[in-house]
């Protein structure tokens, strides 16, 4: 079965916009064991739109057409399809009433232009829009299906889930099970070297590796006749990958590193303060992007200038003079002093050269020291990151959070062992 996805909108043919609705629809199709065969983006001009709709009718069994159902003059999807199919547009008073009601509820009068949205292709099934004015339409023609959907994701997504997915059940090719493994501390090629012999050679069990600076993701996808079978098929692969990659994996369920670190801090009852130089506040920003982070994140000090390091965190001026602000020695004292000053149980520090300026032969751009201090010790790591300023900042924050994660994992394991010994 050939499935086509069409996104309609002249703005999608500019350099500024991307069609993202197709990613959502693809995910839902994948859930049913289905995949799009092609995706097309076309503008609002009826001539090109007509050509594309005709191509889809010729080639695809199932076509999703998204966008161009609005009330304005440049929204022509419905009219163009009516022309291609040589069908009439039928006025539906009950749709008009619903649209008028929507405006009334907000104390507004419906603009005359919205009346157009009450017209539906002859023979089409209406897909109600609970959060907007443009209804969707399910159209059958010569054993082919064309589904018209509104473009705004907040209208499209609930409509698709509630009214389209049940109708697609008839074509379900299986049940899908998905897991996302996230890794830090290894490069893409290191990950591939460790796991490439595990790659399955099957369309029903797939591995996709996505690499970002400081983070590798492995997306696993399994398809089977039953949900439980899909999981059964994927689990041994997940297990094998987990064994190979060990504690470089920080999540097998898709969470970000800052969320995992937050869970571990909660679990171990520890609190955290952060001293940041080159990251400028990014670690604090990431930690506080997690709702409820105020239970474990106490304070951050963005000690960007040398004076700030000296005044705010009592870094001895001589230390900076002797070793430089970007040094293991300064990272160590930053981590220790932010911990002591804040009263947190853990102190994290970052000092480095994010570039593009400020590097030297001995201390190049990308040189970053990350430190962690706890009640009985301090650890400092020397890192050399590649990439532009933003990438170096992100990798620095990732490394610092990962040091914290590994420390907390050890601590939690240690506590368990202790309890074990005690009991």
Contacts with a second copy in 133-162 (CB under 8 A)? Answer: none
Pairing relationship of beta strands 144-149 and 136-141 according to DSSP bridges: antiparallel
CB of 119 to a second copy, least distance (A): 26
CB of 38 to a second copy, least distance (A): 5
CB of 284 to a second copy, least distance (A): 3
Q: What is the DSSP letter of 109?
A: P
Among the listed ranges 71-79, 131-139, 161-169, 300-308, the one in contact with a second copy (CB under 8 A) is: 300-308
Binding mask 252-281 toward a second copy (x if CB under 8 A, else -) reads ----------------------x-x-xxxx
CB of 397 to a second copy, least distance (A): 9
CB 146 within 8 A of CB 115: no
Round to whole Å and give the CA distance between 327 and 351: 7
Round to whole Å and give the CA distance between 310 and 304: 11
CB of 240 to a second copy, least distance (A): 22
CB of 329 to a second copy, least distance (A): 20
Residue from 121, 261, 303, 335 binding a second copy (CB under 8 A): 303
Among the listed ranges 21-29, 160-168, 181-189, 261-269, the one in contact with a second copy (CB under 8 A) is: 21-29
- Please list every residue from 325 through 344 that binds a second copy, using CB under 8 A: 341-343
- Please list every residue from 279 through 298 that binds a second copy, using CB under 8 A: 279-285, 287-289, 291-294, 297-298
Round to whole Å and give the CA distance between 381 and 197: 32
Q: Report if residue 302 touches a second copy, rule: CB under 8 A.
A: yes
- Please list every residue from 179 through 198 that binds a second copy, using CB under 8 A: none
DSSP secondary structure string for all residues of 224-274: ESSHHHHHHHHHHHHHHHHHHHGGGEEESS---HHHHHHHHHHHHT--EEE
Round to whole Å and give the CA distance between 10 and 74: 9
- Please list every residue from 24 through 63 that binds a second copy, using CB under 8 A: 24, 26-27, 30, 35-43, 48, 51-52, 55, 59
Report the run of H or E that residue 221 belongs to, with start and end: strand 215-224
- Please list every residue from 388 through 417 that binds a second copy, using CB under 8 A: 389-390, 393
Number of residues that bind a second copy (CB under 8 A): 71
- Please list every residue from 199 through 238 that binds a second copy, using CB under 8 A: 208, 210, 219
Long-range Cβ contact pairs of 233-241 (< 8 A, separation 24 or more):
233/177, 233/204, 233/205, 234/177, 234/179, 234/205, 237/198, 237/200, 237/205, 237/207, 238/179, 238/181, 240/198, 241/181, 241/195, 241/198
Residue of 108, 97, 19, 110 lying closest to 65 (CA atoms): 19
CB of 77 to a second copy, least distance (A): 14
For a second copy, give the closer residue by CB, 276 or 402: 276
For a second copy, give the closer residue by CB, 246 or 364: 364
Round to whole Å and give the CA distance between 272 and 346: 5
């Amino acid at each position: 079965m050939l499935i086509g996805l069409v996104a309609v909108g002249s703005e999608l043919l500019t350099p500024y916009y991307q069609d993202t609705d197709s990613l959502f629809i693809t995910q839902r199709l994948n859930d049913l064991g289905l995949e799009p065969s092609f995706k097309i983006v076309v503008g609002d001009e009826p001539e090109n739109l007509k050509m594309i709709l005709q191509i889809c009718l010729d080639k695809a069994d199932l076509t999703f057409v998204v966008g161009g159902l609005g009330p304005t003059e440049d929204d022509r999807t419905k009219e163009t399809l009516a022309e291609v199919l040589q069908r009439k547009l039928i006025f539906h008073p009950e749709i008009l009433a619903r649209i008028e009601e929507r405006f009334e509820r907000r104390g507004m009068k419906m603009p005359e232009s919205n009346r157009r949205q009450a017209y539906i292709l002859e023979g089409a099934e209406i897909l109600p829009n609970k959060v907007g004015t443009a209804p969707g339409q399910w159209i059958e023609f010569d054993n082919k299906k064309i589904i018209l959907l509104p473009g705004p994701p907040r209208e499209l997504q609930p409509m698709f889930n509630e009214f389209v997915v049940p109708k697609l059940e008839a074509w379900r090719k299986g049940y899908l099970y998905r897991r996302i493994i996230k890794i830090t501390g290894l490069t893409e090629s290191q990950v591939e070297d460790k796991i490439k012999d595990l790659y399955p050679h099957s369309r029903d069990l797939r591995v996709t590796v996505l690499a970002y600076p400081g983070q590798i993701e492995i997306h696993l996808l399994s398809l089977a006749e039953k949900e439980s079978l899909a999981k059964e098929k994927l689990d041994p692969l997940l297990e094998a990958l987990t064994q190979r990659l060990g504690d470089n994996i920080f999540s097998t369920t898709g969470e970000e590193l800052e969320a995992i670190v937050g869970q571990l801090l909660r679990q171990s009852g520890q609190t955290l303060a952060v001293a940041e130089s080159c990251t400028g506040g990014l670690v604090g920003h990431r930690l506080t992007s997690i709702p409820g982070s105020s239970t474990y994140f106490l304070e951050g000090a963005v000690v960007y200038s040398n004076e700030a390091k000296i005044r705010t965190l009592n870094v001895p001026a001589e230390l900076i003079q002797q070793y430089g602000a970007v040094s293991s020695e300064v990272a160590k004292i930053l981590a220790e002093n932010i911990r002591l000053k804040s009263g947190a149980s853990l102190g994290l520090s970052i000092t480095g050269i994010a570039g593009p300026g400020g590097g030297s032969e001995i201390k190049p751009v990308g040189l970053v020291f990350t430190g962690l201090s706890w009640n009985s010790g301090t650890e400092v790591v020397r890192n050399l990151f590649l990439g532009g300023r933003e990438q170096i900042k992100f990798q620095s924050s990732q490394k610092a959070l990962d040091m914290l994660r590994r420390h907390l994992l050890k601590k939690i394991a240690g506590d368990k062992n202790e309890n074990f010994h005690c009991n």
